[in-house]
Structure 1
Amino acid sequence: MTFSKAQIDKLADRFFGAVEAGDIETFVSCYGPDARIWHSRDEADTDVQQNREMQEMFKARVKDRRFEIVRRHIFDGGFVQEHVVHGIMPDGSAMRLPVLLIAHLDDQGLFKRISEYFDSAKSPMAGLKQKHVPVTE
């Protein structure tokens, strides 16, 4: 199925808006049931439940979350986005994390795969270990 630029932008804006607001339910609702999320931090796939847990930890660790969208390129079935995540860490220091995200949509217009690239040393989730799911292509 082909989605319009407006449809893809709407999903992306909803997703990143939910992260900023700490709205975990809306965040999770952007994923298809079999979605896989890969992060350069640990170079492994996670599923929706694991990503939910990660988002809950991110919400607890980083206050005043804000996405600075540098650019978003829509392609047939998804988008590539460069953004900078800003926030305040528990010690009061400012967090600034440049990210490149590649998103692919399923037939329902939800995320089926996200690959997220960033400098692990700058991540507020650095050192965090999760059980991983097998890669399914």
Structure 2
Amino acid sequence: MNDALIDRFFAAIEAGDVDLVRALYTPDAVIWHNDDLLEQSVEDNLRVLGGLHRVLSDLSYEVVRRAEVPDGVLQQHVLHGRLPDGREVALHCAMYLRVRDGRVARIEEYLDSAQRTPIREAREALQGRQ
């Protein structure tokens, strides 16, 4: 039932379509990450996604498994991309996406923050050049 929404959501992220991602979130959506235990607003999350596209080319999600739950979807995936220096990255994640009224209302993302280090370092290097 929620597969089409979640497919559209991740396709919009892959394409860098921030406006569509925003439209697929509820206005009060919250995004939580296990590595900092903080909740982000939609606008904060969209800034992070925009930064991800500045650092990674060929961004794509490889869905490992997805399961419908009564209020949303559990998904395990691998985020793939290429850093500015040509290195490929693969970030393994698990997410719970709560769906309300046909839109994403909450995300809880679980990942190993050490796998994100090359992305963070590339982002910081790009910011240092500006």
**Fold conserved between structures, TM > 0.5:** yes
| Map of 1:46 onto structure 2 | 40
Following superposition, which runs of at least 4 residues in structure 1 exceed 6 angstroms of deviation? Answer: none
Match of 2:80 in 1: 86
1:112 aligns with 2:105: yes
Q: Does 1:11 align with 2:37?
A: no
Deviations 1:14-58 (A, max 9, x none): 011011111111111110010000012321000001001111101
Mapped pair 1:29 → 2:23: yes
In structure 1, distance between residues paired with 2:23 and 2:55: 22
Residue identity in the other structure for 1:71: R
Question: Is there any run of 5+ residues in structure 2 with no aligned partner, and where?
Answer: 124-130
Under a length normalisation based on structure 1, what TM-score does the superposition of the two structures give? 0.83
Distance of 1:27 and 1:59 partners within structure 2:
14
Structure 1: unaligned runs, 5 residues or longer: 129-137
> Offset at 1:112?
1.1
What is the root-mean-square deviation of aligned Cα atoms in Å?
1.3
Question: Aligned equivalents of 2:33 and 2:83: distance in 1?
Answer: 20
TM-score (norm 2): 0.87
Q: CA deviation at 1:125?
A: 3.9
- Residue identity over aligned pairs, in percent, reads 37
